[in-house]
Structure 1
């Protein structure tokens, strides 16, 4: 079987049926049949639609064709074009009312090969029946494809509307349950969904862990959503074509397939742009409606971008193949002189470059370079796409303006958040570095903030004193200290002469003193390279004193987990992930006093004993005032820093076994329980896997949350 026949079977949506011709297509077929000729009484500069407006011969010939082949028809669209271009409508049908059958029989018949393009004609014409049928098939095939071009472009938005609606319903159910003050036991159906769809990793045990440094695979519920989106895009790219054997515009089957598929993939790719920009913004209405975290939105952003890029490649490759098929390399070279064509090529190349630079290992190793290139290339793509679609006279311009509007709105909201935190735009923050702990502590005053700080939220910090002042990086809130509160052990007045740690008393603790500085929020930062490395060096030069830096604080972002609604809370954290339990401790302690939560267990894996001692003294122990809070520190390093040995802290010189830790916690209790993981990828995946297994063994309410450890 010939390849062209196979293509026809694959891409034809319908077959020709014996039925009256489509009214719109019939009018277009008659009008299109006169494309190659120029009636001598017409406007030689008229548009294709306007040729009939001032030529009596053209209009008479058109009416004869319509009366003979179309039966009922409507020329309102053509009439509107005449009014728009010439200020007067189409000549009335009465100009042919006096013609009888003999007059019509005397009209010159022609087909698509009778005249050379631009031939002058001084008489009436009528396309012959065979040529009209070919024109009608061609126009119906084109209209059929155009209908699905538009419908499937809109389908991208409708898909995500359905996804968001489902997420909103799920969130509404969770909110209603949380407002009752407790989580009930779950029914078998919801427990099955939690265990098999919502919580587990997609494949095996890897979720946070990458695959060979190339990519990570999101949780199963996200993968199913992404998979459905990919399938939808594939279906919309290959369905909805009517291939005809005698297409006048594109005579071969392969030519029709190349043209229609190239158009379709280009339109859907561009239709995905608003979604791509929406999911990539910090200030995202979808996050507000659904309660998704930024990681979920970012996964959708990446996959929409990947799909759009593949479609752009198919679009560009298809048109290139079509042009080479029609005229070879010389003909292809002539297209390179056209701005819209070159702009489209640049857009596709830039999209491919973004895709290549977005692999996991490059983002992790060169985040700042990735960000600059990502933003720069994205701007280039958007501008070149506007130039590329300029030939359509604004038909697709909205797909440029909507992403641009989303970007501008995001920047306006970012500025609003910055000014609500500090009306002077920046804040003077105190920054310390503790060499023994290898940790940077940032304390940001709150006296200029218009709102309170909620646990679990994060802020983007920019340092105006830094050479790369435009960079902003997210950090989770560790704690909030209010004016007049007794400060945590070890935290003295933060004048420039104050040491990082005060002297400990006989029990290993430092005496608490009153905070006289005013309200401030604390961020704990583990320095690595780049932004955090520069913070470390600035603070290290002033150590043991603090260094004052001008910080721009953009936030808050993220949400507060309803941990206080659970009977038991288990934190499995590593390194700087300890900020998550610190952030929630005050709320959880208050919940215990209200007889809600009965137990909080913090399991913390840390390499440096100095880091652990620093955080225990200054942040954890003063907040962990309830006997129902247990702290287990798993020291995996070799440093010999003196450890803080005191209840309720239990030290282990071993790696944390996250699987066993979670399994034991799930087996020991009876009420609702939540596992919160924030740490290295392997630890988080082990905690997730153990939680999923536990969901299948009990009807108690079991939840798993993973807080961002790497951004």
Structure 2
């Protein structure tokens, strides 16, 4: 929901943070370096002590007004009855092993809120009391607390139970906050390590066919269901269930019941307060996870080898959980204030109305991040996403500052979130600065496709390109696959690392890396294609991007085609597969079957290149099935792979060889995906890696068929080169 948006986000966040208080006062979490009740027995005495003192500020008040008034800190600090009674209570109920310095520290700093100085120290106050004869407790007939009293043992124990309950709940709050944060970081790494288990390939294929690759239900994954959202795969669904489970556990578990409870006599009221606080605390712990999952430079991408699309999916789910927790926190406290008839008063407190603003910002993120908004009004989504996110985080900061005055420990979660966000933007700037400002030359392949050549850039995987002169939104960036493949290395010809693609999806919500909307998408998962073959001794080394001529940025690029005028471009790279070995044939998966639709070819060329060897015969077969509407791009890609003097491609879906690649190109015809996969996989000798990139419906059909065949014993490894936004 909070996406890895754009570069101005960094400036906005830094500007917002410049108004925040210093973080030097950050304190540890309760129970993990901080204890609000370091002397529980003394704290219980403080809660048990009556407060109907005869304060100087009560002069002129009626009896009813005095009964409703609460003493000031100065009154508590100078009242003889209160100080001597507190000293006697602590002396009576605190165990002898409690260090006197702890009691004195409690007396000076915690006993009276906002006290500047206390009339007597603890030893001085205790010296005023005859400890050999217990003073009498205060009777119901006494309306004014004006003598030294003792606290009944039953009353003291009830308040001690309340203190114990608070300590247990507060420590559980910190424990579950840490648990939610740490496991959401570590569990993906742990799950991803399972791929290294030495399992038989047939068993591994069945596991993936049953538990990982298929959609959680139905047959669609990339195609949006009802135009609202994508169905996760079963593997993704398992982790989403974990996210929901761990957050439910963290929010609703760990509220021991100590009875009788003098602080919270009503268990229902106690649970409302505790669950309301816990929901807010876990929401704070989730904020860094939401930011981390959204980053395209996230360390989790490298440690897990999960796709960026998967982490964006988890980002949306975690953000939704976080928003639900914020809403629960706000609703429970709203009910508490209304039932306690305190709502009109609390509306005047800064922490409350800043919290209301933060809740509104958090809640607004959900409707403004729905798939129809992202698809139709992407620029609106982008701007509102940045504004709402920054507003929510800044409001959250001030909410806890006004409420706790830097004594809660919750600010540590926001500091971590700001650090993740700032680091992500810093890494992007560093990637851009690697190449500086370059020149891009646009030529037209045919009516549908453009070619963008960018000399003097040596990149791999995929990149994000900024065209600052095409729009006033200079921060906009667009994803492209980078393709390199080199016959020139063998023939002594020059090499141009080149090619990528970028186009709008034919379906809602998800796009292949080579079908990303040039006018809308800010990120994607593109493929690495190493050394694209060309027959040229004069072309300057660089990269080439294939762009489908649509609208927005691509329409503006089309106007530059054929002019020979260079346009400035910034390249942010390199991104891509951290584990390229999944494309390389081995003894378990010796065959490579690539299925591409349209300009999706650029997203799968890396797997074709990985299946080839310059020095030896390939381990197995390498086959390409490519369906496309026009011939122009076919000729360009073929010339890159086998050279410009290669024979013309056969039409009508007939096969030919592009080097070691058995190629089946269908121009203007729809491929029968089920027939192709069934025929190729059932007749294959050894395991097969299936790589798919193209329209979403095609990808979903290929995923479903591969999973079904895997469940029936076919050894197959499915890889989908797509980016689901």
TM-score grouping bracket, smaller chain normalisation: 0.7 to 0.9
CA RMSD in angstroms comes to 3.8
| Structure-2 separation of matches of 1:229 and 1:404 | 22
> For the structure 1 residues 94 and 51, does the alpha-carbon distance in structure 2 shift closer, same or farther, using more than 3 Å as the test?
closer
2:42/2:103 contact within 8 Å kept: no
| Structure-2 separation of matches of 1:698 and 1:558 | 31
| Structure-2 separation of matches of 1:48 and 1:633 | 90
Of residues 349-358 and 383-392 in structure 1, the stretch that sits farther from structure 2 once superposed is 349-358
| Structure-1 separation of matches of 2:281 and 2:267 | 21
| Structure-1 separation of matches of 2:139 and 2:653 | 90
Partner of residue 122, structure 2: 91
Q: Are 1:218 and 2:232 an aligned pair?
A: yes
Report deviation, 1:312.
Answer: 0.6
| Structure-2 separation of matches of 1:289 and 1:140 | 42
Partner of residue 65, structure 1: 89
Partner of residue 443, structure 1: 453
> For the structure 1 residues 152 and 649, does the alpha-carbon distance in structure 2 shift closer, same or farther, using more than 3 Å as the test?
closer
Q: 2:294 aligns with which of 260, 280, 287?
A: 280
Q: 1:144 aligns with which of 159, 162, 168?
A: 168
Q: 1:453 aligns with which of 451, 459, 469?
A: 459
2:442/2:452 contact within 8 Å kept: yes
Partner of residue 473, structure 1: 478
Partner of residue 643, structure 2: 622
| Structure-2 separation of matches of 1:386 and 1:62 | 36
Equivalences, count = 617
Q: Are 1:571 and 2:594 an aligned pair?
A: yes
Partner of residue 341, structure 1: 352
1:245/1:253 contact within 8 Å kept: no
| Structure-1 separation of matches of 2:376 and 2:723 | 16
Report deviation, 1:674.
Answer: 0.4
2:699/2:720 contact within 8 Å kept: yes
Partner of residue 553, structure 1: 571
| Structure-1 separation of matches of 2:129 and 2:264 | 38
Partner of residue 493, structure 2: 485
> Which secondary structure state, in structure 2, belongs to the residue aligned with residue 664 of structure 1?
helix
2:468/2:474 contact within 8 Å kept: yes
Q: 2:550 aligns with which of 523, 528, 551?
A: 528
| Structure-1 separation of matches of 2:166 and 2:538 | 76
Please give the TM-score of this superposition, normalised by the length of structure 2.
Answer: 0.76
| Structure-1 separation of matches of 2:148 and 2:128 | 15
1:280/1:301 contact within 8 Å kept: yes
> For the structure 1 residues 518 and 344, does the alpha-carbon distance in structure 2 shift closer, same or farther, using more than 3 Å as the test?
same
> For the structure 1 residues 512 and 683, does the alpha-carbon distance in structure 2 shift closer, same or farther, using more than 3 Å as the test?
closer
Partner of residue 19, structure 1: none
**Residues 309-349 of structure 1, C-alpha deviation per residue, up to 9 Å, x if partnerless?**
0111111111111111111xxx4233222222112111111
1:458/1:477 contact within 8 Å kept: yes
Alignment map for 1:282-321 (pairs within 5 Å)? 282-321=296-335
> Which secondary structure state, in structure 1, belongs to the residue aligned with residue 138 of structure 2?
strand
Report deviation, 1:279.
Answer: 0.8
> For the structure 1 residues 387 and 71, does the alpha-carbon distance in structure 2 shift closer, same or farther, using more than 3 Å as the test?
same
> For the structure 1 residues 100 and 589, does the alpha-carbon distance in structure 2 shift closer, same or farther, using more than 3 Å as the test?
closer
Partner of residue 9, structure 1: none
Q: 1:419 aligns with which of 422, 425, 433?
A: 433
1:444/1:521 contact within 8 Å kept: yes
| Structure-2 separation of matches of 1:558 and 1:464 | 24
1:216/1:360 contact within 8 Å kept: no
Partner of residue 495, structure 1: none
> For the structure 1 residues 648 and 148, does the alpha-carbon distance in structure 2 shift closer, same or farther, using more than 3 Å as the test?
closer
> For the structure 1 residues 40 and 359, does the alpha-carbon distance in structure 2 shift closer, same or farther, using more than 3 Å as the test?
closer
**Residues 332-379 of structure 1, C-alpha deviation per residue, up to 9 Å, x if partnerless?**
233222222112111111112111122222212222321221112111
**Residues 61-85 of structure 1, C-alpha deviation per residue, up to 9 Å, x if partnerless?**
2343245445456365553355667
Of residues 659-668 and 472-481 in structure 1, the stretch that sits farther from structure 2 once superposed is 472-481
Alignment map for 1:223-372 (pairs within 5 Å)? 223-243=237-257, 247-327=261-341, 331-372=342-383
> Which secondary structure state, in structure 2, belongs to the residue aligned with residue 529 of structure 1?
coil
Partner of residue 79, structure 1: 104
Q: Which has the higher contact order (CA 8 A, sep 6+)?
A: 2
> For the structure 1 residues 300 and 114, does the alpha-carbon distance in structure 2 shift closer, same or farther, using more than 3 Å as the test?
farther
Partner of residue 7, structure 1: none
> For the structure 1 residues 236 and 385, does the alpha-carbon distance in structure 2 shift closer, same or farther, using more than 3 Å as the test?
same
Alignment map for 1:108-257 (pairs within 5 Å)? 108-109=137-138, 121-170=145-194, 173=196, 185-186=200-201, 188=203, 190-243=204-257, 247-257=261-271
> For the structure 1 residues 634 and 335, does the alpha-carbon distance in structure 2 shift closer, same or farther, using more than 3 Å as the test?
farther
Partner of residue 602, structure 1: 624
> Which secondary structure state, in structure 2, belongs to the residue aligned with residue 201 of structure 1?
coil
| Structure-1 separation of matches of 2:151 and 2:159 | 10
Q: Unpaired runs of 5+ in structure 2? A: 1-36, 57-69, 110-115, 500-532, 655-660
**Residues 402-434 of structure 1, C-alpha deviation per residue, up to 9 Å, x if partnerless?**
1111111111111111122x1xx2111112233
2:41/2:90 contact within 8 Å kept: yes
Q: Are 1:410 and 2:431 an aligned pair?
A: no
Report deviation, 1:466.
Answer: 1.7
Please give the TM-score of this superposition, normalised by the length of structure 1.
Answer: 0.78
Q: Are 1:670 and 2:685 an aligned pair?
A: yes
1:477/1:522 contact within 8 Å kept: yes
| Structure-2 separation of matches of 1:633 and 1:68 | 97
